[in-house]
Amino acid sequence: MLKVYKRKLIAGLLALLVVFAIIFALALLDIRRGIPMFGSGLGFLAENAVIAVLCILAMIKVIAEIARVEK
């Protein structure tokens, strides 16, 4: 039973990792195009840079969580 839980947890974490990678890529693309991702009132560069940094931090956290589950 625990193997099924671990497998589903890892699959969910990998899906989350892909979502963060897609958002990161979109933020970088929007930086190149010069448009904000959400239009929160910040400049497009600041907003997309914050989104990219937060996505990188989230991806690091997900990878650490996967490594912890694999132990």
Structural domain count, the chain? 1
User: What are the CA-CA distances from residue 27 to residues 2, 20, 46, 47, 49 (Å)?
Assistant: 37, 10, 11, 9, 7
The residue range of the domain holding 21 is 2-70
Q: Which two tokens stand for residue 22?
A: 């897609």
Q: What is the pLDDT of residues 2-41, one digit of tens each?
A: 889 999 999 999 999 999 999 999 999 999 999 999 988 8
What's residue 3's pLDDT?
87
Q: What is the pTM of this model?
A: 0.87
- The pLDDT score that the predictor gives to residue 14 is 97
Tokens for 45, please give them: 């560069």
Flag whether pLDDT at 71 surpasses 90.
no
What sign has the CA pseudo-torsion 16, 22, 26, 27? positive
55 CB-contact burial (10 Å; exposed 0-12 / middle 13-18 / buried 19+): buried
